[in-house]
Structure 1
């Protein structure tokens, strides 16, 4: 499973949201669609389609409030705080 080096922002809710994908760490597996070793074409591809955890996260800054994923839930559940 390949991984990414990313840059992003950390929100008050604790979530890190990726702003830039800087580089990829290739896992070298022929069973990972993101790897340069993956077969092309891969008929009926059942290979790994997701990246693993970020290899590194560079926090560009802290943002007040909730991230875009949390904002609607907290707005509806907690009176718009």
Structure 2
């Protein structure tokens, strides 16, 4: 499973949002769709690995105290429960 080293923003809710992908770590597996060793066209797809692994390194370039857009909707926006 291939992975990326990324740069991104860390939000007050704990989420990390990628702003830029720096480098890719190639797993070298011929059954991984993202690997350079994967055949094009591949006779085994769609049974090949279709997803990237978690980032092998996250470089936080900005820290924000507010929630990310998804959490803002659920905790402070329209999706939030009415408070008593």
1:32 aligns with 2:39: no
Residue 56 of structure 1: aligned partner:
57
Q: TM-score, normalised by structure 1?
A: 0.89
Q: Give distance in 1, aligned partners of 2:43 and 2:73.
A: 40
Q: Larger Rg: 1 or 2? A: 2
1:72 maps to what in 2? 73
Q: 4+ residue runs of structure 1 moved beyond 2 angstroms?
A: none
Q: CA deviation at 1:78?
A: 4.9
Q: Shift of residue 54 of structure 1? A: 0.5
* TM-score, normalised relative to structure 2: 0.86
RMSD: 1.3
Q: 1-side partners of 2:49 and 2:73: how far apart?
A: 31
* 1:20 paired to 2:20: yes
Structure 2 unmatched runs, 5+: none
Gaps of 5+ in 1: none
| Number of residue-to-residue matches in the alignment | 79
